Chains A and B, each alone.
Chain A
Amino acid sequence: MNQPPPGQLASVSAYPLRQADGQKRYHGNQLVYLHWENHLMYSAPFCVPLPPTLPFGALVREVLPELYGEHSEFESIDWQRTQWFKSEQRFRPDFGKSLEHHGLGHKCLIRFRTPALEGIRRQVRPGIQAY
């Protein structure tokens, strides 16, 4: 018997596909991962359950302040200049349209970058970065 090719599991009998985390398990929500680039005071990106029908504007007005509101740079964010990424892919959100409409499905990763607000990239004093 040889080593199975990548993607196949060596096993003594048929190995069933048991996929955890299916969207239907989240009570009408989907999981969304959120990350504010350069702001590593929050040591990891967040995972939150949100309705697929949530308008993008509500994500910005209601969800993000909950998650990031304590950060001193949060109030200064200019949402018009914010850059949005679906994983690596840049996109321009329509604040009136839903997550679904933007193709932001279950377990999607939304990253945003706020030019001029650089968090960890900013120096608080020589050699010491901000948070």
Chain B
Amino acid sequence: MEPRATKKKLSLKERYVAMTRGLAWNTTYQPMEKVFPFDRYEGIRIHDWDLWEDPFRLTMDTYWKYQGEKDKKLYAVIDAFAQNNGHLGISDGRYVNAIKLFIQGVTPVEYGAHRGFAHVGRQFVGAGPRVACQMQAVDELRHFQTETHAMSHYNRHFHGMHAPGQWFDNVWYLSVPKSFFEDAFTSGPFEFLTAISFSFEYVLTNLLFVPFMSGAAYNGDMATVTFGFSAQSDESRHMTLGIECIKFMLEQDPGNVPIVQRWIDKWFWRGYRLLTLVAMMQDYMLPRKVISWKEAWEMYAEANGGALFKDLARYGIREPRGWKDACEGKEHISHQAWALFYQYTHAAAFHTWLPTNDEMQWLAEKYPNTFDRYYRGRFEHWGNVKRAQGRWFNQYLPMLCQVCQVPMIFTEPGDPTQICFRETTYSGMAYHFCSDHCKEIFENEPRKYVQAWLPVHQIYEGACYPDDINPASPGDSPVREVLRFYGVQAGLDNGDYETSEDRRNMDRWKGKVATVEGAE
């Protein structure tokens, strides 16, 4: 047989170059700096974009193929989960509240990431990172969609999942992730990558995904687990983009180092504060526990992150300034956050409950230094109050940190009995912060944070009432009307799990006789 004349196939590397740099050109009708106006202003100097290396060398054609295959598998599992009434297989109805927190607080953030990457995927001069960012923009949009689909089955059976978009734009605790992402995608493209690709995806993402996805696996939620698997290969690509981006900036010019360091300080802390919601979910909302937040922090932040910052030391990068305070916080933040949501659950869009005796025992074992000493007393007290006078709700609005927008629940480093207050004045007005690090973020760019849309202040301004309401008139209940404005159904989407319709339904579906068992 005669050898067939074959067209020489491009190697993987050649194909990558052809599909990225090969598609880019230097503009001639307009100067490059006008076409790429965001490329320079942050102060980052890039001398040679061709030194950008993408170890995945993924091109668009391969990308579509991979993602298409993954989607087919994912949707097969989602369909099977729905057809088999998968929600009846979960450990306990309380678990669904972790999924509510996910669809309310994490899924919209995927969309925020999509917006950010779509923006920077246009703005870099270098074609390599531009293509990588464009693919990540598509990934993030896909995650938003697949999460929504994976969890849509629960929305048919449980409250608190029907209007996550509206809630994300308005509700007080969701302003934490919302403002985080708005801060990121109103930054320049280099800061955005440092914020999201490096500080969030590379340093902290395991602390977001592992608790939710292992939590789903432990609690029988196969739809969410399958989404997790489907997103995992994307996440590793995103993490690689993060570390490559940091190293590239640091190698290009020594003047970039202090700028990048300041961004790492800022975004590590912002990400850490955002993860407070995950810490709480992990320790309090999973009926079958995986590992504690403290253990997860030690494994993923202290061990992995410690090694990372040792590696980056050769570029002159040190660990983020808030590192030590974050490590101290591993003993506290989940308890402080659950205490907050326990008392404000009537103003949230998910249920809370008191930890059972067994759960408090688990918490005491996992937190031998802090749980019994500082936190158990509060939960036991609320249990006593509930038996004597009924479930306690805090009726007055909390003070918020100007930067992270979390209510001021965090305590002074070294003294968990004292709330940490920091304060500054800018342009004649007082500003308050939960920590030295949020204060420092403000002071570096005060004009950015004086604009903050703080939900508590907005309620008092009157910006969170339906149009037909006069909050000053005696007949209108401000809290009820604010919830109506939020689109939260008071008493159905929120309140204590024990007395919820979710619980009654779940008991009925599982053939249990509803009992009012003490959660304490």
Residues of A within 8 A of B (CB): 1-4, 6-12, 15-22, 25-27, 29, 31, 33, 35, 37-38, 40-49, 66-67, 70, 87, 105-109, 111, 120-121, 124, 127-131
Contact = CB atoms under 8 A, between A and B. Distances in A.
A131 B377 contact: yes
Contact of B419 (A40, A41, A121): A40
A6 B457 CA distance: 27
Contacts of A22: 429
A120 to B, nearest CB: 5
B340 A43 contact: yes
Contacts of A127: 372-373
Interface string B25-48: 000000000000110111100000
Nearest to B187: A10
B421 A12 contact: no
Contact of A20 (B38, B259, B430, B453): B453
Interface residues of B, number: 59
Interface in B423-454: 423, 427, 429-432, 443-448, 450-454
A44 B399 contact: yes
A124 B457 CA distance: 36
Contacts of A124: 377
B377 A21 contact: no
Given A1-B43, A21-B457, A87-B421, A129 B451 contact: no
Nearest to B335: A43
4 tightest CB-CB pairs across the interface, nearest first?
A44-B398, A44-B407, A3-B43, A107-B430
B12 interface: no
Contacts of A15: 447
Contacts of B450: 17-20
B343 interface: yes
Contact of B447 (A9, A107, A108): A9
Of the listed residues B336, B450, B460, the one surrounded by the most CB atoms of chain A closer than 10 A to its CB is B460
Chain B binding surface SS class: mixed
13 contacts: A1-B42, A7-B445, A27-B462, A40-B339, A42-B394, A43-B336, A43-B407, A44-B409, A45-B408, A47-B398, A47-B400, A107-B431, A129-B374
Contacts of B374: 120, 129
Interface of B: 37-38, 40-43, 188, 255, 258-259, 262, 336, 339-340, 343, 372-374, 376-378, 381, 392, 394, 396-400, 407-409, 417-419, 421, 423, 427, 429-432, 443-448, 450-454, 456-457, 460-462, 472
B70 to A, nearest CB: 38
Contacts of B38: 12
Contacts of B453: 20
A44 B392 CA distance: 15
A129 B417 contact: yes
A121 B374 CA distance: 9
A130 B376 CA distance: 9
